[in-house]
Homo-oligomer: A and B are copies of this chain.
């Protein structure tokens, strides 16, 4: 890891040298008021590992992360954000990039009007109503065709049912190139855990990876990205 970081710092050669990557990681926190928020479960382990793995293969990498307790990976620039809107802005500021991996668990909704003061709990009073509004869709926004679109856009699909169908439909809806789908049901310990079990869906079809360490998933993904760019060079 240290060697990889030094390699990168010195512009050492790797299969992704000369390419730039942006990786999102962690959850976003959407404030309800100064003390309460809505969040997604996400440890940031998978996204952080992917940023480290891409940098390890020589990519100039920016990690855009929500609030996590993971340490910053070595050899990577890190932008720390809290909300989905901040995360989108940080990604846009990082463009242009060749590779984008959206591994963050972005909150789909936020509260329409954040309260400036703590909402008081009135004993026996009525409950507050949380009116939600839709957050920007980071993956769909950055997948839109155009001059600034990264050449390879990779999304994640965290599902609790109908993994393949939901992931395949997500890839088409978002307009990204690859989807890495995983089952995050309560029972399998993937959320916040050390391991992951991935189904990769791309234009060519699908590829099922065995359950492995999140570090190993990151290495395998970085290798697949390197292979993709190697194939493009040849053509």
Contact = CB atoms under 8 A, between A and B. Distances in A.
Contact of A35 (B36, B41, B123, B173): B41
Nearest to A112: B127
B158 A118 contact: yes
Contact of A117 (B127, B133, B161): B161
B32 A38 contact: yes
A203 interface: no
A60 to B, nearest CB: 30
Contacts of A35: 40-41, 105, 158, 160, 184, 191
Nearest to A107: B36
A200 B117 CA distance: 22
Contact of A36 (B32, B39, B133, B166): B39
A209 interface: no
Contact of A118 (B36, B117, B130, B160): B160
Q: How many copies does the complex hold?
A: 2
A41 B132 CA distance: 20
Interface in A105-142: 105, 107-109, 117-118, 120-121, 123, 127-130, 132-134
A185 interface: yes
A69 interface: yes
Interface in A179-209: 184-186, 191
Contacts of A123: 173
Given A35-B158, A36-B40, A186-B34, A132 B132 contact: no
Interface string A12-34: 00000000000000000000101
B127 A34 contact: no
A39 to B, nearest CB: 6
Nearest to A123: B173
